[in-house]
A and B are shown apart, each in its own frame.
Chain A
Amino acid sequence: MGKILVFVEFNHGQLKRSSLELLSAAQSSGQTVVAAAVGSLAEGISKEASQYGATDIYVIKETTFDKYNPELFTLGLTEIIKKSEASLVLATASALGKDLFPRVAARLDAGILSDCIELKISGDNVTAKRPIYSGKCFSKVTFENCPIKIVLMRPNQLPISVPNASATTNVIAHSVNAPSLRTLIKEVVKGTSEKLDLTEANIIVSGGRGMKEAGNFKFLEQLADVLGATVGASRAVVDAGWVTHDLQVGQTGKTVAPSLYIAVGISGAIQHLAGMSGSKVIVAINTDANAPIFQKATYGIVGDFADVLPKLTEEFKRAMA
């Protein structure tokens, strides 16, 4: 039986939901699960990682690992993967994971499947499902000819198991002897939003050109506040400068797969659908009953955002109270 290494990410001293999903999937496979975390605060999440099944946790505590540097992280992670002797590595298809692990795979001559939405681990056999062609098709894939397999999972795809409060873990500190690096992180400018990133959000409230003007996004923000949701947007409004590009959902924006996606004043162009058709439930609010978004939606209201949104926000307030 092999060993599974889960690369975990954390925020404010807590593991991200997506990392809990990975630990839970690893644990339910019945194999030995170890975790890896990096940064000066990494050791702080060892207890939580143990509660989701990690028996060992490899940590790199150097402060140089507080900021993502592809060159340095590739070195650190390849060393840990080798040291752990894991045959399967799980990580989130996050901004960091998607950048880092293809390079790690190339260095280790490992197989890699990125952006997966389903994962089955049975002994040495690992199969996954990935959206391709902008979500218009899914490919079921497996590994062959590789001793090390790497799977990058999209957030919000796997169940989270019940934590075992009494579990403990063995912390293994790893230090990296970094050569002189050619990559220098000059500055990290935080985003303006305190909200969860779109790619991690469980509920998204998105607005399009039908919102008429930038100022009307406040209706979406009020609704999002009630739902604990993150606000998204179509390209039309990003290009119009109403909101910044990090809010754009779609082929040239972010790919999201929340439990609930509420599209307001968005027509449902193929390039927008490419970024959100993996959502579990889609609600469309649009004045045009023939808008293509209704063909993808689970529920719909044909109406003007200005009439619908204030009432909807009030109704959600009551429902969530």
Chain B
Amino acid sequence: MKFFVCIKQVPDTETKIKVGADQQIDPAGVKWVMNPYDEYAIEEAIKQREKNPGSQVWVVTVGPKARTAEALRTALAMGADEGILIDAPANLEPQITAKALSLVIQQEGGAKVVFTGRLAIDDNASSVSQMLAEFSNFPHTTVVSKFSMDSENVTVEREAEGGQCEVVQMATPAVVAANKGLNMPRYASLPGIMKAKKKVLKEVSIDSLGFSLVAKTKTLALELPAEKPPVKLMSGEISAQVSSLVQLLRDEAKVL
């Protein structure tokens, strides 16, 4: 029994984003990390492996091999058994990434559960999990904050609007997109890091998967947010500050 975890390497949230002359994100000075939601996905897969002796956790990523191998090594150091790197250009469209992931998972004999993060914080599309499920013909649930599994089904809790919680049962194989709150991701320990160096990290090129999907969207330009004028600080007694604030909100900002 195999649990697959699909992860993505993204710029750290603290990284300052700059746009280069070529209308791409300037890679200079970018610190790359594993997408934060993917850590919950890995943790859940490892917990399930612990409960199901003989099962394995495989992590897979799509991206340029020069940098993304590091994210896979981190996952292996957390405790995943094997890694697969699908070498591909950066910033692919979700459909293409999802198709590549579904093909590789199929080639490797399929999965009991495919775990993903509910959102990649770089392209903000929250699409790959559902598309991967569609291409694999698996059911899916996203924004999952609770997970349990028996021999045929998984039962998950999905967070929807207004604190609403949906309890969903899916027949396996299924795709589960993890939200914060699902678990507490473990850190990669030093022995874990040492062990990870000896684990199998397979590479496949996206071209070798033999599918053709054309991009359906095109980026025209990247823009940085407009400079904000400096904050207007209220002054005087608290009651005077409060009344100027309300007046500005009503008459200047017109938001009341």
Partner of A271, one of B13, B127, B233: B13
Q: Which B residue's beta carbon lies closest to that of A246? A: B163
Q: Which B residue's beta carbon lies closest to that of A259? A: B255
Are A132 and B216 also in contact (CB < 8 A) when A94-B161, A303-B238, A307-B238 are? no
A58 at the interface (CB under 8 A from B): no
A193 at the interface (CB under 8 A from B): yes
Q: Closest approach, in angstroms, between the C-beta of A101 and any C-beta of chain B? A: 8
Partner of B255, one of A145, A203, A320: A203
Q: State in angstroms the CA–CA spacing of A200 and B161 once bound together.
A: 9
Query: In the complex the two chains form, is A270's CB within 8 Å of B171's CB?
Result: no
Query: In the complex the two chains form, is A299's CB within 8 Å of B225's CB?
Result: no
Query: In the complex the two chains form, is A315's CB within 8 Å of B243's CB?
Result: yes
Query: In the complex the two chains form, is A133's CB within 8 Å of B11's CB?
Result: yes
How many pairs, one residue from A and one from B, have CB atoms within 8 Å of each other in the complex? 259
| Total count of chain A residues near the partner, CB < 8 A | 97
Query: In the complex the two chains form, is A141's CB within 8 Å of B163's CB?
Result: no
Partner of A296, one of B139, B161, B228: B228
Query: In the complex the two chains form, is B219's CB within 8 Å of A99's CB?
Result: no
Stretch of B46-54, B79-87, B118-126 at the chain-chain interface: B118-126
Are A141 and B219 also in contact (CB < 8 A) when A133-B122, A199-B161 are? yes
A130 cross-chain contacts in B, Cβ below 8 A: 124
Query: In the complex the two chains form, is A315's CB within 8 Å of B255's CB?
Result: no
Dominant SS among interface residues on chain B:
mixed
| Total count of chain B residues near the partner, CB < 8 A | 80
Q: Which A residue's beta carbon lies closest to that of B239? A: A311
B239 cross-chain contacts in A, Cβ below 8 A: 311, 315
Are A140 and B180 also in contact (CB < 8 A) when A107-B134, A184-B168, A281-B249 are? no
Q: State in angstroms the CA–CA spacing of A132 and B225 once bound together.
A: 11
B27 at the interface (CB under 8 A from A): no
Q: Which B residue's beta carbon lies closest to that of A186? A: B167
Contact digits for B168-180, partner A, Cβ 8 Å, 1 yes 0 no? 1111001000001
Are A182 and B163 also in contact (CB < 8 A) when A135-B225, A245-B180, A298-B232 are? no
Query: In the complex the two chains form, is B223's CB within 8 Å of A300's CB?
Result: no
A110 at the interface (CB under 8 A from B): yes
B67 at the interface (CB under 8 A from A): no
Query: In the complex the two chains form, is A103's CB within 8 Å of B143's CB?
Result: no
B131 at the interface (CB under 8 A from A): yes
Query: In the complex the two chains form, is B225's CB within 8 Å of A114's CB?
Result: no
Are A298 and B130 also in contact (CB < 8 A) when A183-B170, A186-B155 are? no
A39 at the interface (CB under 8 A from B): no
Q: Which residues 233-283 of A sit at the B interface, judged by CB distance below 8 A?
A: 244-247, 251-253, 259-260, 270-271, 274, 277, 280-281, 283
* Residues of A bordering B, CB below 8 Å: 67-68, 70-71, 74, 94-96, 98-100, 102-103, 105-107, 110-115, 127, 129-146, 181-193, 195-197, 199-200, 203, 227, 244-247, 251-253, 259-260, 270-271, 274, 277, 280-281, 283-284, 289, 294-303, 307-308, 311-312, 315-316, 319-320
A-B contact pairs, 5 of them (CB 8 A): A67-B166, A96-B160, A141-B217, A190-B164, A283-B249
List 15 extra interface pairs beyond A115-B124, A246-B163, A281-B249, CB under 8 A: A68-B166, A96-B160, A102-B130, A134-B13, A138-B223, A145-B216, A189-B166, A190-B162, A191-B165, A193-B163, A227-B256, A245-B180, A247-B163, A259-B255, A299-B253
Query: Which 4 A/B pairs are nearest by Cβ-Cβ distance?
Result: A191-B163, A111-B216, A102-B127, A246-B163
